[in-house]
Amino acid sequence: MKKVNKSHGTKNVRLELTNNDPSKRAGSNNLTITVASNDWRITDQRVSMTIRDAQALKSFLNQNLS
């Protein structure tokens, strides 16, 4: 399989997806969501999850957002 590195940014959020990493290290296949902070005293907020958790989140959102 080919390694996948994709990213997408909006005004408020940056999404980064890494999948099929041949190294098979823990945490190498994940989705990271970063929310930039406009306040210099607060760092950017980041949530990182495995692909399996991201798929569960996707399923939840698809069921509950119409």
Give the tens place of pLDDT for each residue, 10-57. Answer: 999 999 998 876 666 666 789 999 999 888 899 999 999 998 999 999
Give the H or E element holding residue 46: strand 45-50
Residue 29 sits in which domain range? 4-64
Q: Is the pTM of this model over 0.85?
A: no
14 burial (CB, 10 Å; 0-12 / 13-18 / 19+) is middle
pLDDT category, 62, cuts 50, 70, 90? very high
